[in-house]
Amino acid sequence: IEQQLGSLILATDINRQNEFLTRLKAHLHNKDLRLEDIHDRHFMLQIALKCADICNPCRIWEMSKQWSERVCEEFYRQGDLEQKFELEISPLCNQQKDSIPSIQIGFMTYIVEPLFQEWARFTGHSALSESMLSHLAHNKAQWKSLLPRQHRSSSESTFYFNNNYYYTDNNKSF
C-alpha cells in the first residue's frame, strides 16, 4: 500500500503531465483500458488524483478566481525572495512580467483542459465532467477579459511548463 500511495502522489508531479496524458490518450484511442486489471486501475487512480490536484479552474468562477489569486501570490512571493537574494526569478514568479490572468490562461490551456477533455472521454462525457468543462471554458473567458491591456494588444502570450515556454496567439482561441 505504501508503494501505491507513493506512486499516486508522484503522479501529481506537473513535470510528468505529458507522460500521463499521452498514455491516457493512447488507452482511450486503442480502447484497451481494462479496469479489472490492477495496473490499469492504478493508472486511472493516478489520473483521478491528477485531476483532483489541478481541478481549481473547473470550479465556479468565484471560488476558482479566489484560489488562483492565492496561488499566484505565492508564486510572486517566491519571485520576490529570489530577486532579494539576487537569484534568477523562476518562471511565472515575476509579478512585473507575469499577470495572474496570463498565468491562469496558460495553465488552463496547456495543463487542465487537455487532461479534463480526456477525463470526460473516459467517463463517457458524464454530467459532472461536462459541468467541469463548462466551468473551465467560462473561467478561461473570464480570465481573458481580465488580461492587462498590453497583453490583449500583443499578439503573443507565453506559458512556462515542463522546462519549456509555450507561445500562444491571443488573436485565436486558447
Give the whole-angstrom CA distance, residue 34 versus residue 65. 37
Candidates 68, 70, 50; CA nearest to 59 is 68
Please give the full DSSP string across 22-35, using - where no structure is assigned: HHHHHHHHHT---T
**34 backbone dihedrals φ, ψ, rounded to 5°:** -120, 105
| 133 half-sphere exposure, CB direction, 13 A CA radius | 16
Candidates 6, 14, 101, 92; CA nearest to 53 is 14
Q: Is 169 annotated as a binding residue?
A: no
Give the whole-angstrom CA distance, residue 103 versus residue 143. 9
Per the annotation, binding residues for Zn(2+) are 53
Per the annotation, binding residues are 53
